[in-house]
Amino acid sequence: MIKLYAFATPNNIKPMIMLEELGLEYELHAINIRQGEQKTDEFQKLNPNAKVPVLIDGDMVLTESAAILVYLAEKHHQLLPQQNPQRARVFEQLFFHASGISPAFGNAGFFQKLASEQVPFAIERFKTEAERLCRVLDDLLTAHTYVTGEDFSIADIAHFGWMWRAEFVGLDLSKFEHLSRWYQVVNARPNVQKAITKISTLVKT
Ligand SMILES: N[C@@H](CCC(=O)N[C@@H](CS)C(=O)NCC(=O)O)C(=O)O
């Protein structure tokens, strides 16, 4: 059976939503990153980068949430269009997520909620950037139901991961009309709710 090593954080809800959407059974293994369990020698044999999530599917041991989404989508032929331009649009959003949204949101949350000292410049820098990126998504969503068009895809799952933790980042999504509407649509999916229920059994960030 598929195994997922995870903790209750934005990057980990993504593969869980995907597994639920695909209707796959999986074992969830908690790695408590607040207690340093990601730094053990045993865990670093799975991910030398010492981060969750890690997916194990047979011989495949895979890290990086976006790569896990693509792997599962390609294996099960779902939530990633086969043809361009739609396929390229999904990758465009995945790279935008991994290189833009994820680091900005992660740093904004870290400097506001977890850093051992308050660094106003860092808080301002990353929170402003996170808000700017929400505005980019909000503008994009004026034209479509989902981030790449009218079909739900792994790009929506990736973005949902961090939007689900907007409060940790100090962001009020209700300020973004279209992004809020999209969030409610994705959040209402039964499989998204199943993933949230399961991940909530792990410790929250
Ligand atoms: N780019 C990676 C980021 C993974 C990541 O940062 N995971 C965090 C939890 S959301 C983690 O394991 N942090 C532990 C640490 O940095 O020590 C992905 O998308 O999977």
Residue 203's pLDDT is: 74
Domain with CATH 1.20.1050.10 in the chain: 86-188
pTM of the model: 0.96
**CA quadruple 200, 2, 12, 101: dihedral positive or negative?**
negative
Structure tokens at 120: 């106003």
Angle (deg, nearest 10), helices 10-22 and 65-76: 10
CATH of domain 2-79+192-199: 3.40.30.10
Best of 9, 18, 37, 51 to mutate for ligand 1, by most ligand atoms within 8 A of CB?
Answer: 51
Q: Are strands 60-63 and 26-30 parallel, antiparallel or unpaired?
A: unpaired
CATH of domain 86-188: 1.20.1050.10
Over the chain (205 residues), the average pLDDT of each successive run of 10 is 96 98 97 94 97 97 98 98 97 98 96 92 95 98 96 98 95 97 98 96 69
Q: Which atom of ligand 1 is nearest to the CA of 31?
A: 12
Best of 4, 9, 11 to mutate for ligand 1, by most ligand atoms within 8 A of CB?
Answer: 11
Question: What is d(CA 170, CA 29) in angstroms, rounded to the nearest whole number?
Answer: 29
Domain with CATH 3.40.30.10 in the chain: 2-79+192-199
Q: 146: Cβ–Cβ under 8 A, 6 or more apart, which residues?
A: 152, 153, 155, 156, 182, 185
Phi and psi dihedrals of 36, rounded to 5?
75, 15
Name the nearest CA neighbour of 94 among 72, 61, 120, 116.
Answer: 72
Phi and psi dihedrals of 103, rounded to 5?
-65, -35
Residue 205's pLDDT is: 47
Which residues' Cβ are closer than 6 Å to ligand 1?
7, 9-11, 33, 38, 50-53, 64-66
Q: Which atom of ligand 1 is nearest to the CA of 64?
A: 20
Phi and psi dihedrals of 126, rounded to 5?
-80, -35
Structure tokens at 205: 């960030």
Counted residue by residue, the chain has a size of: 205
Residue 204's pLDDT is: 52
Phi and psi dihedrals of 47, rounded to 5?
-135, 100
